[in-house]
Homo-oligomer: A and B are copies of this chain.
Amino acid sequence: MEALLQTDLSAVVEGVNMLWVLTVTFLIFFMHAGFAMLEAGQVRSKNVANQLTKNLLTWSVGVIVFFLVGAGVSNLVGGTGFAESFAYINGGSAAWVSWLFGAVFAMTAATIVSGAVAGRAKLRAYVTYTILLAGVIYPVVVGFTWAGGFLAEMGFHDFAGGMIVHGMGGIAGLTAAWVIGPRMDRFNDDGTANVIPGHSLSFAVLGTLILAFGWYGFNVGTAAAPLAEGGTELADFAYVGRVALVTTLGMAAGAIGAAGVALLKTGKVDTLYVANGLLAGLVGITAVADAIVWPGALVLGLLAGAQLPIVFEFVEKRLRIDDVCAVFPVHGSAGIMGAVLFPFFAVDGFSVGQLVTQVIGVGVIGLWTVAATVVVFGAIRALGEARVTPAHEREGLDTSEHGVDTYPEFGQPDGAVADGAG
């Protein structure tokens, strides 16, 4: 009777689980609108259309590459045989739903990079990198981890991609920005920096809130199987409340942490720091949201937010890298921090072994990402294809790369503002 019941319930369980995965997949897809707005708001008006086009093409080119190549490469690197690794391509309904769920994570990693190289990267350079990221660079990271590779075997813990997706994307962005160099007028000959403010805080904050909305799909949705087969008990939904709570507290604390540090440093609450701090808080708990105690989310979110203004300044003034949309402080360092500090807040208690594993995992992913990005963008730069010409950069990429004017009816004075604190 029990056996019979389980058989009969299996379609219900499968349907409910697919329903949930599809719903959260749509939410995660919508994060592309968030990234598009967040990044568009942070660039000059002469480069807005370029940023938007990059975001549209990241998804469009990237998702096809990830279908034809990337997801299979993940499986291969994870230790699956060749035929089975690519079996999803003709795998039918359930396999395609699973693939799409993986694809929206992959495309999140890809789209982060565009914010770092804004305002000077050639479209063809960026698209080339996106193809390689979607086909190889990110899939190798997934191969090491979620697909069952050696980091997975070591016990590296990254629940929803705090390091695998965001940390990886943030590191790739920083590396790419370093290789192609800063925008014109960003740094002075004496080494001081100029601020080039984005054209619209409204779009930036809109993007932030769209991302936070989608992030509930990203984190909570990673508890992807509400029901256990057989249907007589919950599967991932046995802990889904922890993920939802921790995600909420982490993002809130992130905004407060960044606001607090900004207030201490300048006496004012910088809007963009608050917004990016909220995102850094989300990044900070993404790797660990299933397995930390909730006070840990407050601490981790606060730290992830607080490090943002500090790391941003370090990248700008010490490394002299022009990370336009602050993707490293938001996604990179916050992602690293969350993954590494996991054992201090773990539900199961602190463990030195886990700490070592986390450090190794972060190190491996970081090194691979830096190396691959240096090779790809280095080669593109060597071919003279990495940046638009100085004249085109001055004029704006909207005109030179796309032949459009984002705001034809509004004035667009241009120029950099000296940063007194430089």
A255 proximal to B (CB < 8 A): yes
Q: Which residues of B contact A385 (CB under 8 A)?
A: none
Q: Is A213 in contact with B40, judged by CB distance below 8 angstroms?
A: no
Q: Are A18 and B237 in contact (CB under 8 A)?
A: yes
Instruction: Check A371 for interface membership: any CB of B closer than 8 A.
Output: no
Q: Is A233 an interface residue (CB 8 A)?
A: yes
Cβ B96 vs Cβ A298 within 8 A: no
Check if A49 sits within 8 Å of B220, measured CB to CB. no
Q: A44 near B: Cβ within 8 Å?
A: yes
Which residue on B lies nearest to A403, using beta carbons? B268
B406 touches A201 (CB 8 A): yes
User: A11, B96: Cβ atoms under 8 Å?
Assistant: no
Partner of A404, one of B96, B201, B253, B298: B201
B231 near A409 (CB under 8 angstroms)? Answer: no
Closest B residue to A408 by beta carbon equals B197
Contact assessment for A231 and B61 in the assembled complex, using a CB-CB cutoff below 8 Å: no
* Chain A 84-118 per-residue mask, 1 if CB under 8 angstroms from chain B, else 0: 00000000111111011001000000000000000
**Residues from chain B with Cβ under 8 Å of A274 in the complex:** 53, 56-57, 60
* Cα–Cα distance between A232 and B12 once the two chains are bound (Å): 7
In the complex, which of the residues A14, A201, A239 has the most CB atoms of chain B within 10 Å of its own CB atom? A201
Question: Nearest Cβ distance between residue A415 and chain B, in whole angstroms?
Answer: 9
Give how many A residues have a beta carbon under 8 Å from the other chain's beta carbons: 120
Q: How far is the CB of A245 from chain B (nearest CB, A)?
A: 4
* Residue contact B64 to A95, C-beta cutoff 8 Å: no
- Distance (Å) between the CB of A37 and the closest chain B CB? 6
Known contacts A203-B202, A274-B53; A403 and B252 CB within 8 A of each other = no
In this complex, what residue of B is CB-closest to A209?
A: B33
**CB <8 Å contact, A407 and B200:** yes
Take A26-B216, A57-B255 as given contacts and tell me if A33 and B270 are in contact as well, using a CB distance cutoff of 8 Å: no
| Most central of A48, A123, A231, A245 by chain B CB within 10 Å | A245
Do B202 and A406 have beta carbons less than 8 Å apart?
yes
Known: A30-B213, A201-B407. 11 other contacts (CB 8 A): A12-B12, A18-B237, A29-B213, A56-B275, A67-B249, A92-B241, A93-B240, A93-B242, A97-B244, A199-B408, A206-B206
Interface residues of A (CB under 8 A from B): 1-2, 4-5, 8-9, 11-16, 18-20, 22-23, 25-27, 29-30, 32-33, 36-37, 40, 44-45, 48-50, 52-53, 55-57, 59-61, 63-64, 67, 92-97, 99-100, 103, 123, 197-203, 205-206, 208-210, 212-213, 216-217, 220, 226-228, 231-234, 237-242, 244-245, 248-249, 251-256, 259, 266, 268-272, 274-275, 278, 298, 398, 401-414, 417
